[in-house]
Amino acid sequence: MRTCHRSHFTAASVLSITILAGCRSGAGAGDPDDDSGGGSDETAGSSADDGSSGDDPFQTSKFECDPTQVPAELGLRRLSRVQYVNAVRGLVAILAPTDVEGVIAQAETRMAAMPTDARSGPDPQYGGLSRLDQSIFQETVEGSYHVGAAIGAAVADDPARLTTAAGACATDADTGNDAACIEAFVRSFGARALRRPLTDDDVAFYVDVAGPELEPEDYADIIAVLLCAPGFLYFVEGGEGEGGEATPLTAYEIAARLSFHFWQTIPDEALVAAAERGDLLDDELYTAEVERLFHDQRSVAALGEFYGEWLDSPHTAELDASIGMPDYDAFLEGFVPSPDTRANMAAELRDMGAYYTLDAPGSFDEWFRSDKSFARTDDIASIYGVAPWQGGEPPTLPDGREGIITRALTLATGSAVTHPVLKGVYARKTLLCDPVPPPPPDAMAVAMGIEDAALGSRARAVAISEARGDCAGCHTGFINPLGFVTEDFDGLGRHRTIEKVFDKITGDLIAEVPIDTSAVLQIDAGDEREASSAGELNAMMLESEKPQACFARRYFRFTFGRIEDDTSDGCTLATVHQALVDGDDLGVVVRDIALRPEFRTKTIEAGE
């Protein structure tokens, strides 16, 4: 799905300069200028980084594990859109293994029209995840029906496909075997669609979808109903035993969680078989199965979704949007952004995460301050001055470029200038999970703009931040310094030793401003240390253990599909955080969350 990153086209995307009030007590994280996020937050619950609960703008990096605490019930989750589409394809591959695309083509229009998931969370633009969007839309309900009907028709209307899907008994002239044929189909296909063996009641229900005189079209109806079933569209988890706190999931429910978490699709035959054998209820065998899933290349896409959504930079506009502006054209100095340049920048962060997690597992620190390039395309590689990555050992970046904060996506602005304020906001919100307080109501009354452009980006940011006394409190100590440290990279992400300022009308070079990257960072309250390079900033951030805590929060959300609670989810958060701090491989950390009891249990509150 193509997305629009043109920042100026919405009032909700007020991003180029955000003036913030003092970091006052009790302030929320939301930015009044920033209401463009996706789903309604009301469904997202209360998070630890929404800033609504504390007086401190600095997020904690400490989690406490109280084993007596029990996680809240995880409400009935639906498949994300990505998972839904993959699951439909997975089932079509079972029905028509040699003609998947032919069948899918008949449902493609319907599928494309279904709503996308919005990146959601307390502050959707910064670390919002699409898995958290649990909205139930009319269009989803109707769309899934139409997709199911189209898939069913595509199979049932073609005798060859139907024979493959249900056996010769479904298409032969013998009416005597029809009932057994359709029941066998319901049992076999239904088990894959619902991700568990069907009970006799289930079978009777789905067989009854067919009319009294069985026809091939009845298979279409059964497929349609199964592709809309609650057990297909949702994670229906009743667990084993009496219910209540930490109810163990069934082997099949565990298999579904595993498969959709790591692969974003239905369990494969081996996982189904493991569930059938009960292997998933045995710790050792379960661990082996988790290991198998995690190391399968099918987990790359899910990892990419996690890293891509978490690290996306809302202030990076499309890089080709300002082509034709004289100053931008001059600034580019021959670089030609394409409509894909921003997407290529984003792809690098996804690939980078997958590399350190799966391909060549490294520690959190190694990933966070990596000096390797994962730019696969010429445009991004040329920004870095390296050859495109072809897989294998990635090229080493020059010029002291290291870490997430020096990647093209986090530096680029789509204009001829840098945005140190917004780089600071990104570091605070995305990498440290600090809740940045909103600006005061009248902050925008300050005349802001492009005056005094010749000052250069840093001096201009300082001037604007100090234009009002109540802005400086947050900007001077809390936000701006984190953006100043990477001012040795320009608005495209190229390394620079001098800031060139271009005339907006003529494109002429009108000033050359010395670069100053020094800043007192205040990573945490009272921290007065100074840094002047990305390397120093990375080191200080890691030392604070806040990025590791931020990862723990975000990966918790990605895994469990809900906002963490620092108290009741403290054990999971503390374990993940400590493992990252201890230098465990990212791959181990990501894999091991599936080994935790919370992944295999569910608190089930009594129904009516």
Partner 1 sequence: MRSRLTNKFTRRMFLRGTGGALLAIPLLESLLPRGANAGGTLGSPRRLAAFATGHGGIRSTNMFPNVATLTASQSYAGHTVRRGDLAIAVDGGIASLSPVMSASSSALTSTIVAKMNVLRGLDAGFYTAHTSGIHLGNLAGHDEALVPATQRRPTIDQVLAYSEKFYPSVPLVRSISLGYNYNISIGRENPFDPNSPLQDVPNVERSIDLFNQIYMAPDPTEESRPPVVDRVLADYQRVRNGPRISAQDRVRLDAHIARLEDFLAKLAAVQSCAEVMAPTMEAQSVMWDTPNFHTDPSAQAQYWQLFSDVVAIAFSCDTCRVATFAADALMDYAGPDYHQDVAHRAHQNSPIEPPEDPLSQVFAQQLVRDGHQRFFEEVYLDFVTKLDAIDDGSGGTLLDSCLVAWTQESGIFTHDAVDCGVVLAGGAGGSLTTGNYCDYRNTSVMGNQYGNSYPGPFPTYPDDNTPEFTWFGLLLPQYYGTVLQAMGLDPQDYEESSYGGYGPMLAEADTTNHPESVRSAAHDVLPFLGA
Of residues 120 through 159, those in contact with partner 1 by CB under 8 A are: 135-139, 141-142, 145-146, 149-150, 152-153, 157
Q: Residue 200, interface with partner 1 (CB under 8 A)? A: no
Alpha-carbon separation of residue 445 from 98, 121, 473 (angstroms): 64, 29, 17
* Binding-site member from 23, 49, 50, 408 for partner 1 (CB under 8 A): 50
Least separation in angstroms between residue 582's CB and partner 1 is 36
The packing angle between helices 216-226 and 159-166, to 10°, is 60
Least separation in angstroms between residue 8's CB and partner 1 is 4
Nearer to partner 1 among residue 437 and residue 547 (C-beta): 437
DSSP characters for 413-436? -SSSS--HHHHHHHIIIIIS---P
Q: Residue 530, interface with partner 1 (CB under 8 A)? A: no
Q: Residue 513, interface with partner 1 (CB under 8 A)? A: no
Q: Residue 606, interface with partner 1 (CB under 8 A)? A: yes
Least separation in angstroms between residue 38's CB and partner 1 is 7
Least separation in angstroms between residue 419's CB and partner 1 is 9
Interacting residues with partner 1 between 492 and 511 (CB under 8 A) = 503-506, 510
Amino acid at residue number 336: V
Nearer to partner 1 among residue 239 and residue 361 (C-beta): 239
Contact region with partner 1 (CB under 8 A), list: 172-180, 233-241, 370-378, 530-538:
233-241
Task: Identify any residues that bridge with 501 across adjacent strands, giving them in sequence order.
Answer: 511
Q: How far apart are CA 434 and CA 550, in angstroms?
A: 9
Interacting residues with partner 1 between 291 and 350 (CB under 8 A) = 317, 321-322, 324-325
Q: How far apart are CA 162 and CA 216, in angstroms?
A: 8
Nearer to partner 1 among residue 67 and residue 324 (C-beta): 324
Nearer to partner 1 among residue 196 and residue 261 (C-beta): 196
Nearer to partner 1 among residue 280 and residue 421 (C-beta): 421
Nearer to partner 1 among residue 298 and residue 504 (C-beta): 504
Cβ 274 vs Cβ 255: under 8 Å: yes
Least separation in angstroms between residue 122's CB and partner 1 is 9
* Binding-site member from 92, 207, 425, 604 for partner 1 (CB under 8 A): 604
* Binding-site member from 183, 205, 382, 455 for partner 1 (CB under 8 A): 205
Task: Identify any residues that bridge with 78 across adjacent strands, giving them in sequence order.
Answer: 234
Contact region with partner 1 (CB under 8 A), list: 215-223, 290-298, 387-395, 563-571:
215-223
**Dihedral of the CA atoms 326, 327, 330, 332 (nearest 10)?**
-120
Pairing of strands 498-502, 244-248: unpaired
Q: Which of 77, 118, 9, 470 is nearest to 237 (CA)?
A: 77
Cβ 166 vs Cβ 222: under 8 Å: no
* Binding-site member from 159, 176, 238, 391 for partner 1 (CB under 8 A): 238
* Binding-site member from 20, 22, 23, 29 for partner 1 (CB under 8 A): 29
Contact region with partner 1 (CB under 8 A), list: 21-29, 56-64, 455-463, 579-587:
21-29
Cβ 239 vs Cβ 600: under 8 Å: no
Cβ 557 vs Cβ 564: under 8 Å: yes
Q: Residue 8, interface with partner 1 (CB under 8 A)? A: yes
Nearer to partner 1 among residue 360 and residue 446 (C-beta): 446
Interacting residues with partner 1 between 383 and 442 (CB under 8 A) = 413-415, 437-438, 441-442
Q: Which of 256, 130, 232 is nearest to 600 (CA)?
A: 256
Reduce the secondary structure of 307-319 to three states and give it as a string.
HHHHHCCCCCCCC
Q: Residue 228, interface with partner 1 (CB under 8 A)? A: yes
CA-based radius of gyration for the chain: 27
Least separation in angstroms between residue 581's CB and partner 1 is 31
Amino acid at residue number 158: D
Nearer to partner 1 among residue 231 and residue 385 (C-beta): 231
Least separation in angstroms between residue 511's CB and partner 1 is 11
DSSP characters for 36-69? --SS-GGGG---TTSSSS-S-SSPP------TT-
Tokens for 415?
């204009």
Nearer to partner 1 among residue 28 and residue 535 (C-beta): 28
Tokens for 572?
């999971």
Helix (H) / strand (E) element for 245: namely strand 244-248
DSSP characters for 96-123? -TT-HHHHHHTTHHHHHTSPPPPPBSSS
Nearer to partner 1 among residue 165 and residue 290 (C-beta): 165
Specify the DSSP class assigned to residue 511: E
Q: By rule CB under 8 A, what string of x and - marks binding of each residue 59-98 to partner 1? A: --------------x-xx-x--------------------
